[in-house]
A and B are shown apart, each in its own frame.
Chain A
């Protein structure tokens, strides 16, 4: 069942990596070789990719990922780095590991949210527990010891993760 998503992903990656051989496009030999190699890779890894990987082939979702990564995520990274710069220079930290309850359903959403949390201001995901619906986050400047939701830690990222990983 996972054959088609893996095939499309590896073929797209092949096209991106080999662009520019004939003007700005691809030569026919390259396209044929790409189909063959993507087929081999898809056949060998189709059991690893997971049952519902085909839902990420939706172009609306790709647009969502692009908007998310150059909008909220990049802005969050800018703030994170200025924050770390401030803390490196002044040395003013108040660390702690807090438990953050989240409302997510599947593993893809957990992955997106924990990676976003790690890349944004003053937080680092240490452990994710899908069975108790919580993330354990190392926070460099604890302002709230028992947060009710991920709002104080991650801002709007939980909403984005819920939408993108659905």
Chain B
């Protein structure tokens, strides 16, 4: 039962991480590639970590009462918090730097930052 839950989490995580890579190859310019890279990797990694946390909780309560399982679970959960806090900031910095160095969005219907930065 628990194996199926963990397998489902891992499958979702790996699928979205794969989607991010496909997005980087398929999208036309830097901004749309940042879209794919940021959102999908954050989301996919959340599910991979969720699988690790599920596994550690299961192992602590039903396999053996070893506190190192708790440590593994908590440290993995912290990874999610820091990832969600820092990943959008990095994407924002890359996007802003690209726009400042004069890269126009590919096929833009509107560009309010033209001549603004």
**Chain A residues with a Cβ under 8 A of chain B:** 16-17, 19-24, 69, 77-78, 80-81, 84-85, 87-88, 91, 93-99, 114-115, 118-119, 122, 124-127, 136, 138, 140, 142, 145
B52 contacts A by Cβ under 8 Å: no
Are B88 and A95 closer than 8 Å at their CB atoms?
Answer: no
Docked Cα-Cα span, A163 to B28, in Å, equals 38
Are B112 and A97 closer than 8 Å at their CB atoms?
Answer: yes
Docked Cα-Cα span, A122 to B38, in Å, equals 11
B111 contacts A by Cβ under 8 Å: yes
B109 contacts A by Cβ under 8 Å: yes
Interface residues of B, count at CB 8 A: 47
Picked from A21, A84, A119, A125, the residue with its CB within 8 Å of the CB of B84 is A119
Picked from B22, B27, B74, B111, the residue with its CB within 8 Å of the CB of A20 is B74
**Chain B residues with a Cβ under 8 A of chain A:** 16, 19, 22-23, 26-29, 31-32, 34-36, 38-40, 42-43, 46, 67-68, 70-71, 74-75, 78, 84-85, 87-89, 91-92, 95-96, 99, 105-113, 116-117
With contacts A20-B67, A88-B26, A97-B105 taken as known, whether A124 is within 8 angstroms of B35 at the C-beta atoms is yes
Picked from B40, B84, B107, B113, the residue with its CB within 8 Å of the CB of A136 is B113
Are A126 and B95 closer than 8 Å at their CB atoms?
Answer: yes
Are B38 and A119 closer than 8 Å at their CB atoms?
Answer: yes
With contacts A96-B111, A98-B110 taken as known, whether A19 is within 8 angstroms of B27 at the C-beta atoms is no
